[in-house]
Amino acid sequence: MIATRIGLSLLVIAALTGCGDATSPGGESAAPAGPVASTGPGPTDILAALPPETQPYGLDVYTAHCMKCHGDMGQGVDNHPALKGMTPTAMYQKLLDYRGGNIQGEQAGAMREAVKDLSDAEIAAVSIYAGE
């Protein structure tokens, strides 16, 4: 009887957690900046699966694809946001979402363009480099 109640409670909690709108009033996705529960491997796992000589360097990827808008220290430039406070895993997932077209909003087009040609390994490397 108690096990049934606990199971039912967990089911209700899971259903309520899935409810709601995940967009902010400005239309940007309201994805959390903190850790993200991911079903796939994280950025460290992606790089660890590659031979060391083929692992991309996060600094190189950042310099080529991110620095122009996010600054040389990730502080943000003009209306582009600072990257401080995002974990590598959260940044990795967010970049994958931009590349996949899963994020809509004002700056989504520019971000999609910036990451469209990056491999999963390059996204992992830049996430580890730029994430806190």
Question: pLDDT (tens digit, 9 = 90+) per residue, 114-127?
Answer: 999 999 999 999 99
Q: What is the pLDDT of residue 115?
A: 95
DSSP states along 18-60: T-S--B-TTSSB---SS----SS--HHHHHHTS-GGGPPPHHH
Give dist(CA 45, CA 41) in Å, integer. 6
Cα–Cα distance, 84 to 82 (Å, whole number): 6
pLDDT-derived band at 131, boundaries 50, 70, 90: confident
Position 106 confidence tier, pLDDT thresholds 50, 70, 90: confident
Q: What is the mean pLDDT of residues 82-103?
A: 93
Torsion 76-131-42-53 (CA) sign: positive
| pLDDT on residue 71 | 93
Give strand pairing partners of 29. 23
Position 130 scores a pLDDT of 92
Sequence ranges of the domains in the chain: 26-130
pLDDT of residue 39: 63
Mean pLDDT, residues 36-65 taken together: 85
26-130 has which fold? Answer: Cytochrome Bc1 Complex; Chain D, domain 2 (1.10.760)
* CA angle, residues 47, 50, 53, in degrees to nearest 5: 105
Confidence at residue 22, expressed as pLDDT on a 0 to 100 scale: 42
Higher local confidence (pLDDT), 62 or 8: 62
* DSSP-derived 3-state class of residue 85: coil
Are residues 131 and 83 in contact, defined by beta-carbon separation less than 8 angstroms?
yes
Tokens (6 digits) for 70: 């996010």
* pLDDT at res. 105: 86
Question: How high is the mean pLDDT of the chain?
Answer: 78
